[in-house]
């Protein structure tokens, strides 16, 4: 669990093993962060100066493969679902990169539902069971889902599983009370995904009114940095909680580092789905899952350069024929990434 002292208590065991064969099959698509955590499978050379002979795969400089997921919308807000690889322009620290991989919804998903159990959420717990049970059926059979709940502390209720119903069942008995510690919940969920789903597309779905009242043990920067290091996009299913007027504004002005969910979703490439705007909890959840399934995945090989350590700022745009980003279209994607630790030292 995280070194900062943030812990998630466990109700379920979560031992996972990946075979060398499975890793070899996924290496070309797995996110760059994952390679810092996984040994190179047997049969793969670790010396970049003497790479193995071409075996017909696209495996090259595994530790430098960076994946960027994106949702693209036109100026009316409709998702642009028919774009091609050549339509995109991707820069790393201002340097245009060659896109080496392009796909949509090919990697298995690992989704963690992070559910607020503070007192303001109580009326939505039973409807959330039906909404989650129905919406999660749209995921692929191989996709896995976990459930973390939080109020004062965060707790792992259901470990990553392909049984989507197992995630919905606990809502029958959950009870809401206490404060809203979003910081520790997201921090712990990102750390959990990093360790338990290194070869999947990692998604965090925060179900909350997005009004933090408990600063937790980590600040906003640590929460966002941890999500970026885990390559986990954070989505928000925003519930209209029962909070006193002005509580959200006071929480953000408190100066105690409580996370701003809008900033968190923007930095990690996620999105907020407001239940009041969508019409119902089920419709909002359904729209969120559909959005997660229809993201583009672009990959490039990180440049070899001593100055490449530290945070990398990414810029993803469409070609000039599509107009200007932010005016004619918008792109939801992570704003940057941290290279894996093994790649940071220059010899």
| Alpha-carbon separation of residue 167 from 138, 213, 307, 330 (angstroms) | 14, 26, 44, 33
Among residues 39, 94, 93, 89, the alpha carbon closest in space to that of 62 is found at 39
Beta strand 109-116 with 144-150 is parallel
Q: Is residue 205 part of a domain?
A: yes
Beta strand 336-337 with 312-318 is antiparallel
> DSSP labels for 246-267?
THHHHHHHT-S----HHHHHHH
Q: Is residue 19 part of a domain?
A: no
d(CA 110, CA 145): 6
Q: Is residue 115 part of a domain?
A: yes
For residues 97 and 314, the answer to whether their CB atoms sit within 8 Å is no
Q: Is residue 59 part of a domain?
A: no
Tokens matching residue 216: 């937790």
CB atoms within 10 A of CB 61: 13
pLDDT value at 74 more than 50: yes
Q: Is residue 264 part of a domain?
A: yes
* Per-range mean pLDDT, top range of 16-30, 242-256, 321-335: 321-335
Strand runs labelled E in 136-186? 144-150, 154-161
- In tens, the pLDDT along 248-277 reads 555 555 546 899 999 999 999 999 999 888
d(CA 133, CA 70): 26
Tokens matching residue 256: 């105690």
Q: Is residue 347 part of a domain?
A: no
Among residues 221, 209, 203, 220, the alpha carbon closest in space to that of 297 is found at 203
Q: What is the pLDDT of residue 63?
A: 55
For residues 246 and 239, the answer to whether their CB atoms sit within 8 Å is no
Count of domains forming the chain:
1
**Lowest-pLDDT choice from 21-35, 153-167, 219-233:** 21-35
Q: What is the pLDDT of residue 280?
A: 87
d(CA 282, CA 265): 21
Q: What is the pLDDT of residue 2?
A: 45
Mean pLDDT of the chain: 80
Which residues lie closer than 8 Å to 257 by C-beta, 6 or more apart?
183, 215, 218, 219, 220, 221
Q: What is the pLDDT of residue 305?
A: 55
Q: What is the pLDDT of residue 206?
A: 97
Q: Is residue 112 part of a domain?
A: yes
Q: What CATH number has the domain bearing residue 147?
A: 3.40.50.410
Query: Exposure string (b/e) for 251-266, b if CB count within 10 Å is 16 or more?
Result: beeeeeebbbbeebbb
Determine phi and psi for 83, rounding to 5 degrees: -75, 155
Question: Range of 155's domain?
Answer: 106-293
3-state helix, strand, coil in the chain (%, to 5): 35, 25, 40
């Amino acid at each position: 669990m995280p070194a900062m002292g943030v812990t998630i208590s466990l109700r379920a065991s979560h031992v996972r093993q990946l075979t060398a064969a499975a890793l070899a099959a996924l290496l070309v698509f797995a996110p760059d962060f994952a390679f810092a955590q996984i040994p190179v499978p047997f049969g793969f050379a670790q010396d970049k100066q003497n790479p193995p002979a071409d075996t017909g795969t696209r495996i090259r400089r595994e530790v430098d493969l960076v994946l960027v997921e994106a949702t693209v919308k036109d100026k009316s807000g409709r998702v642009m679902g028919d774009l091609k690889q050549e339509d995109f322009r991707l820069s790393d620290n201002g340097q245009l990169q060659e896109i080496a991989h392009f796909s949509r919804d090919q990697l298995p998903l690992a989704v963690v539902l992070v559910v607020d159990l503070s007192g303001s959420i109580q009326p939505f717990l039973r409807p959330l069971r039906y909404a989650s049970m129905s919406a999660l059926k749209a995921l692929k059979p191989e996709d896995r889902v976990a459930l973390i709940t939080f109020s004062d502390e965060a707790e792992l209720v259901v470990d990553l599983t392909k049984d989507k119903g197992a995630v919905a069942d606990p809502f029958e008995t959950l009870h809401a009370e206490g404060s809203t510690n979003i910081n520790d919940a997201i921090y712990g969920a990102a750390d959990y995904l990093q360790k338990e789903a290194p070869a999947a597309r990692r998604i965090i779905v925060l179900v909350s009114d997005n009004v933090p009242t408990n600063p937790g043990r980590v600040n906003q920067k640590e929460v966002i940095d941890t999500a970026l290091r885990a390559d986990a996009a954070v989505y928000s299913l925003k519930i209209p909680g029962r909070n006193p007027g002005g509580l959200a504004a006071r929480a953000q002005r408190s100066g105690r580092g409580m996370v701003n969910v809008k900033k968190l979703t923007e930095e990690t490439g996620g999105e907020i789905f407001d239940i009041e705007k969508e019409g119902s909890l089920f419709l909002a959840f359904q729209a969120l899952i559909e959005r997660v399934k229809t993201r583009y995945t672009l990959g490039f090989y990180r440049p070899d350069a001593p100055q490449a350590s530290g945070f990398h700022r990414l810029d993803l745009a469409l070609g000039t024929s599509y107009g200007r980003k932010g005016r004619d279209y918008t792109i939801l994607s992570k704003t940057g990434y941290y290279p894996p630790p093994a790649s940071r030292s220059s010899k």
